[in-house]
Amino acid sequence: MRASTYPLVDADEAAALVLERTPVLPAEEVALSEAAGRVLAQDMQAPSALPAFPSSAVDGFAARSADAGKGLRIVGESAAGRPFMGKLEPGTAARILTGGAVPDGADTVVMVEDVSLNGEVVTVPSTLQPGANFHRPGADVRAGELVLTAGTQLGAAELGLAAALGFPRLRLYMRPRVALMSTGDELVEVGMEPGPGQIVDSNRWALLAALREAGAEVTSLGIAPDERKALSAVVAAALDAADVLVTSGGVSVGTHDLVKPLLESLGTVHIGRVKLKPGKPFTFATIPAQRTGGHSPSHLRGEGRGGEVQERLAFGLPGFPVSSLVTFEVFVRPALRKLQGFSKLQRPTLPVRLGYDARATADRTEYQRVTLTRHGSEMVAQTTGSQSSSRLLSLVGAHALVRIAPGDHGVKAGTVVEAMILALP
Amino acid sequence: MRASTYPLVDADEAAALVLERTPVLPAEEVALSEAAGRVLAQDMQAPSALPAFPSSAVDGFAARSADAGKGLRIVGESAAGRPFMGKLEPGTAARILTGGAVPDGADTVVMVEDVSLNGEVVTVPSTLQPGANFHRPGADVRAGELVLTAGTQLGAAELGLAAALGFPRLRLYMRPRVALMSTGDELVEVGMEPGPGQIVDSNRWALLAALREAGAEVTSLGIAPDERKALSAVVAAALDAADVLVTSGGVSVGTHDLVKPLLESLGTVHIGRVKLKPGKPFTFATIPAQRTGGHSPSHLRGEGRGGEVQERLAFGLPGFPVSSLVTFEVFVRPALRKLQGFSKLQRPTLPVRLGYDARATADRTEYQRVTLTRHGSEMVAQTTGSQSSSRLLSLVGAHALVRIAPGDHGVKAGTVVEAMILALP
HSE, CB side, 13 Å, CA atoms: give it for residue A181.
23
Q: Where in chain B is the domain with CATH 3.40.980.10?
A: 8-26+175-339
- Tell whether A359 is within 8 A of chain B (Cβ): no
Give percent above pLDDT 90 in chain B.
82
DSSP A145-177: -EEE-TT-B--HHHHHHHHHTT-SEEEEEPPPE
Residues of A within 8 A of B61 (CB-CB) are none
- Partner residue opposite A210 with nearest CB, options B97, B156, B220: B156
| B111 contacts B97 by C-beta, under 8 angstroms | no
- Partner residue opposite B81 with nearest CB, options A152, A197, A202: A197
Residue A185 confidence (pLDDT): 83
Q: Using omega within 30 degrees of 0 as the cis cutoff, is the peptide bond preceding A278 cis?
A: yes
Residue A291 confidence (pLDDT): 44
Q: Residue B186 burial by CB count (10 A; 0-12/13-18/19+): exposed, middle or buried?
A: buried
Residue B19 above 60 pLDDT?
A: yes
CA separation for the pair B74, B92 (Å, rounded) = 6
Residue B256 above 90 pLDDT?
A: no
- Tell whether A200 is within 8 A of chain B (Cβ): yes
- Partner residue opposite A425 with nearest CB, options B37, B253, B348: B348
Instruction: Please give the helix or strand (H or E) that residue A349 lies within, else none.
Output: strand A349-354
At the fourth CATH level, the homologous superfamily of domain A33-49+139-172 is Molybdopterin biosynthesis moea protein, domain 2 (3.90.105.10)
Contact B155 A53 (CB under 8 A): no
Residues of A within 8 A of B98 (CB-CB) are 252, 254-255, 319
CATH class of A349-421: mainly beta
Residue B259 confidence (pLDDT): 87
Please give the residue of chain B at the shortest CA–CA distance from A192.
Answer: B166
Nearest chain A CA: its distance from B148 CA (Å): 8
Contact A209 B36 (CB under 8 A): yes
Which DSSP state fits A143? Answer: T
Residue B303 confidence (pLDDT): 45
CA separation for the pair B85, A358 (Å, rounded) = 40
Chain-centre distance for alpha carbon B124? 53
Return residues 155-194 of A near B (CB < 8 Å).
Answer: 155-168, 184-187, 190-191, 194
- Tell whether B37 is within 8 A of chain A (Cβ): yes
- Tell whether B52 is within 8 A of chain A (Cβ): yes
- Tell whether B121 is within 8 A of chain A (Cβ): no
Residue B130 confidence (pLDDT): 97
Residue A90 confidence (pLDDT): 97
HSE, CB side, 13 Å, CA atoms: give it for residue A294.
2
Residues of A within 8 A of B342 (CB-CB) are none
Contact B59 A148 (CB under 8 A): no
- Tell whether A197 is within 8 A of chain B (Cβ): yes
Instruction: Please give the helix or strand (H or E) that residue A208 lies within, else none.
Output: helix A203-213
| B161 contacts A202 by C-beta, under 8 angstroms | yes
**Complex ipTM value:** 0.93
- The CATH number of domain B8-26+175-339 is 1.10.520.10: no
Q: Where in chain B is the domain with CATH 2.40.340.10?
A: 349-421
CA separation for the pair B399, B421 (Å, rounded) = 6
- Partner residue opposite B168 with nearest CB, options A191, A325, A392: A191
| A424 contacts A347 by C-beta, under 8 angstroms | no
pLDDT digits 0-9 by tens, A207-266? 999 999 999 999 999 998 777 888 888 888 888 889 999 999 876 655 557 788 889 999
Q: Which residue type does B348 have?
A: P
Q: Return the residue in A38, A104, A110, A140 with the most chain B beta carbons within 10 A, the one to mutate for interface testing.
A: A140
Task: Write down the CATH number for the domain with range B55-135.
Answer: 2.170.190.11
SS3 A86: coil
Residue B379 confidence (pLDDT): 97
pLDDT digits 0-9 by tens, B116-142? 999 999 999 999 999 999 999 999 999
Q: How confident is the model at residue B249 (pLDDT cuts 50, 70, 90)?
A: confident
Residue A293 confidence (pLDDT): 43
Instruction: Enumerate residue ranges in chain A where pLDDT < 50.
Output: 1, 291-300, 302-308
Residue B244 confidence (pLDDT): 97
- The CATH number of domain B33-49+140-172 is 3.40.50.2300: no
> Which residues are paired to B178 by β-bridges?
B218, B244
Q: pTM score, two decimals?
A: 0.94
Residue B338 above 80 pLDDT?
A: yes
Query: For residue A281, what are the CA distances in angstroms to A207, A226, A287, A320, B29?
Result: 17, 19, 19, 10, 37
Instruction: Please give the helix or strand (H or E) that residue B228 lies within, else none.
Output: helix B228-240
Characterise B409 by phi-psi region: left (phi > 0), alpha (psi -120 to 50), beta (else).
Answer: alpha
SS3 A418: strand
Residue B20 confidence (pLDDT): 97
Beta carbons within 10 angstroms of residue B399's beta carbon: 23
- Tell whether A37 is within 8 A of chain B (Cβ): yes
CA separation for the pair B150, A59 (Å, rounded) = 49
Residue B247 above 60 pLDDT?
A: yes
Q: Residue A74 burial by CB count (10 A; 0-12/13-18/19+): exposed, middle or buried?
A: middle
Average pLDDT along chain B: 92
Q: Where in chain B is the domain with CATH 2.170.190.11?
A: 55-135
Q: Residue A249 burial by CB count (10 A; 0-12/13-18/19+): exposed, middle or buried?
A: buried
| B77 contacts B95 by C-beta, under 8 angstroms | yes
Q: How confident is the model at residue B301 (pLDDT cuts 50, 70, 90)?
A: low
CA separation for the pair A222, A313 (Å, rounded) = 19
| B92 contacts B75 by C-beta, under 8 angstroms | yes
